[in-house]
Amino acid sequence: MSVLKINISNLPEGIHQRSLEATPEEVGLDNRFAKAVIVNATLEKTSRQLYLKAECKAVGNFTCDRCLEEFEKEVVASYRVMYVAGDRSAEGLKEDEVQVIPPEANAIDLGEDVRQFIMLVLPQKILCKEECAGLCPTCGTNRNTSSCDCRKEETDPRWEGLKKFLEN
């Protein structure tokens, strides 16, 4: 169980707002994340179900895949899930956004969902900025901060025929 729990035992029907905070270690995030993870949740309770809308924010320290510079970036993920008390097979529910909880449950734990959604929104190629110029392949100069006098390599003439495909 994580610290990102919402007590639902005596929660009246209606809409409820919750703000939760945890350390990255408590959520299970790796060492790139050093600041608190913030979760703003809206929980709508009816007699048979709980509908949760959550927005998660975490700040991570990353290395740019183009220029190799360290940078800090806020990661924001949002998700929705419906909690239904009872048995999934009895309800006939098959949707991914539905989680079955025992009728006697006193709390719902958001920790694992928050960890998964934060990790899922990270791009495969992490860039300090979209227009990052990267490093010079010849001398290694960071093209974001300075320029170099390296010559651009001439294209191998055998590849010239492929240029027409890029132009279309």
Structure confidence by residue, pLDDT tens digits, 15-47:
999 999 999 999 999 999 999 999 999 999 988
> Model's pTM, two decimal places?
0.77
Q: How confident is the model at residue 87, as a pLDDT?
A: 60
Identify the CA nearest to 67 among candidates 122, 132, 124. 132
Residues 96-125 have a mean pLDDT of: 89
Q: Give the residue carrying structure tokens 């901060």.
A: 145
- As a whole number, the mean pLDDT across the chain is 88
pLDDT of residue 112 exceeding 90: yes
Return the ∠ at Cα 123 (arms to 141 and 133), rounded to 5°.
20
Residues 45-53 have a mean pLDDT of: 90
Strand partners of residue 17: 42
The C-alpha atoms of residue 85 and residue 91 are separated, in whole angstroms, by 10
pLDDT of residue 94 exceeding 60: no
Mention every residue, 6+ apart, whose C-beta is less than 8 A from residue 63.
69, 70, 71, 126
Strand partners of residue 33: 60
Q: How confident is the model at residue 90, as a pLDDT?
A: 44
The C-alpha atoms of residue 15 and residue 45 are separated, in whole angstroms, by 6
Q: How confident is the model at residue 21, as a pLDDT?
A: 95
Q: How confident is the model at residue 93, as a pLDDT?
A: 47
Mention every residue, 6+ apart, whose C-beta is less than 8 A from residue 163.
none
Which of residues 105 and 128 earns the better pLDDT score? 128
Give per-residue pLDDT as tens, 56-93: 999 999 999 999 999 999 999 999 999 998 765 544 44
